[in-house]
């Protein structure tokens, strides 16, 4: 870390900071300039005590980090792209991944028809919410264990792998019995005890970015999963809350490029949640691929107008087929296969 002292710091004040740096376990290396002094604190700031407390000293202007706070998620520790094995389906390698299905599991007919349709169009992973986090307590909350049973049957019928959301620590064990991927939603992205419980299952985890979460916070949340022994982590950009009201959320495609640069973890994009509008989904998918995404998480419903949740952002079976066809030139351009 670098400690920047205020202009005019006296020799005694400089010595005081050097002494504190030693107490905190670092080797100080002062650089005394004509107008200002800086002190390089040599040591692993990821394991040593944080030096930002030194700003409490009046002669310290600022403390600057050199290393990333997310030790295991960063490319510093893992330069190559990670490829996650989802029960035989690779995510993060040359093959692009399509995850698709309804926002909520509503019935056997709805789920099975959707599973067959998305598989025929090219999906390898079926999404479907058995437990639904809703803003209003009076809105549909999901079928719960019955929804999980239907997801298991859909997998048996189609061979598609299953991704579904887990909402609380008490549900982790029984959701993990069904899910091939545990999804952590935006509202729970910094629910650290839930992250730790999910990590213990060793199941692949898809970590969505929080509604107002900075990219560093998102990567630090992934660090909780990695630090508790689960290397099978995927990031998901699903839109953030901004002042814009034309769309439900603002899909931050720059976050995809940044996450791919900063981290080795696969990055998935959810365009459905990202904008809340079915008519924009294909365009956002093309953009996501161009920015380096490793896969898409798309909401698909047989009759979106009749959906029990978020019908306005779900596309039809024909819409999903059109989407897969529309993104093919973009996949070719970035040397990915479907």
Residues 46-91 have pLDDT tens digits of 666 778 899 999 999 998 877 777 889 999 888 999 999 999 999 9
CA distance 59 to 80: 42
Residue 183 is classified by DSSP as E
Q: What is the mean pLDDT of the chain?
A: 93
Which residues in 285-316 are b (16+ Cβ under 10 Å) and which e?
A: bbbbbbbbbbbbbbbbbbebeebbbbbebbbb
Using pLDDT thresholds of 50, 70 and 90, give the confidence band for residue 13. Answer: very high
Burial bucket for residue 176 (CB in 10 Å: 0-12, 13-18, 19+): middle
Neighbours of 77 (CB within 10 A): 13
Q: Which backbone phi and psi does 125 adopt, to 5 degrees?
A: -130, 130
Q: Give the residue from 335, 181, 157 showing the smallest Cα distance to 270.
A: 181
Using pLDDT thresholds of 50, 70 and 90, give the confidence band for residue 118. Answer: very high
pLDDT at residue 32, as a whole number: 84
Interval 316-338: pLDDT, tens: 999 999 999 999 999 999 999 98
- Mean pLDDT value of segment 85-102: 96
Domain with CATH 3.20.20.70 in the chain: 84-333
CA distance 218 to 210: 7
Domain with CATH 3.30.70.1140 in the chain: 2-64
Interval 137-160: pLDDT, tens: 878 777 899 999 999 999 999 999
Contact of 300 with 282, CB cutoff 8 Å: no
pLDDT at residue 46, as a whole number: 65
- Mean pLDDT value of segment 277-284: 97
> Can you say how many angstroms the Cα of residue 278 is from the centroid of all Cα atoms in its chain?
22
84-333 topology per CATH:
TIM Barrel (3.20.20)
**Between helices 281-290 and 317-333, what is the axis angle to 10°?**
20
Interval 248-258: pLDDT, tens: 999 999 999 99
- Mean pLDDT value of segment 239-256: 96
Contact of 158 with 180, CB cutoff 8 Å: no
pLDDT at residue 237, as a whole number: 98
Query: Who has greater pLDDT, 1 or 119?
Result: 119
Interval 161-219: pLDDT, tens: 999 999 999 999 999 999 999 999 999 999 999 999 999 999 999 999 999 999 999 99
pLDDT at residue 310, as a whole number: 87
Structure token pair of residue 288:
């996501």
Q: Is 2-64 in CATH node 3.60.110.10?
A: no
Q: Give the residue from 198, 210, 129 showing the smallest Cα distance to 162.
A: 129
């Amino acid at each position: 870390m670098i400690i920047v002292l205020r202009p005019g710091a006296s020799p005694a004040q400089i010595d005081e900071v050097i002494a504190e740096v030693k107490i905190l376990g670092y080797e100080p290396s002062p650089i005394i300039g004509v107008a200002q002094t800086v002190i390089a604190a040599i040591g692993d700031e990821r394991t040593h005590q944080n030096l930002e407390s030194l700003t409490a000293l009046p002669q310290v202007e600022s403390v600057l980090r050199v290393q990333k706070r997310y030790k295991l998620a960063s490319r510093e520790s893992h330069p190559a792209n990670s490829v996650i094995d989802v029960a035989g389906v690779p995510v993060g390698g040359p093959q692009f991944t399509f995850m698709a299905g309804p926002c909520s599991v509503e019935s056997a007919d709805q789920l099975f028809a959707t599973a067959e349709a998305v598989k025929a169009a090219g999906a390898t992973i079926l999404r479907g919410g058995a437990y639904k986090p809703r803003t209003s307590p009076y809105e549909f909350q999901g079928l719960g264990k019955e929804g999980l049973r239907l997801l298991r049957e859909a997998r048996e019928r189609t061979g598609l792998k299953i991704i579904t959301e887990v909402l609380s620590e008490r549900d982790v064990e029984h959701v993990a019995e069904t899910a091939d991927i545990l999804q952590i939603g935006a509202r729970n992205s910094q629910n650290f005890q839930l992250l730790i419980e999910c990590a213990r299952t060793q199941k692949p985890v898809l970590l969505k970015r929080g509604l107002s979460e900075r990219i560093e916070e998102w990567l630090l949340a992934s660090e909780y999963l990695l630090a508790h022994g689960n290397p099978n982590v995927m990031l998901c950009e699903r839109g953030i809350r901004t002042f814009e009201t034309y769309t439900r959320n603002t899909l931050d495609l720059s976050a995809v490029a940044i996450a791919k640069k900063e981290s080795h973890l696969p990055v998935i994009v959810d365009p459905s949640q990202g904008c809340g509008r079915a008519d924009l989904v294909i365009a956002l998918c093309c953009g996501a691929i161009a920015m380096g995404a490793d896969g898409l998480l798309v909401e698909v419903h047989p009759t979106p107008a009749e959906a029990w949740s978020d019908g306005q952002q779900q596309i039809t079976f024909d819409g999903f087929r059109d989407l897969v066809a529309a993104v093919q030139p973009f996949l070719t351009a970035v040397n990915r296969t479907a």
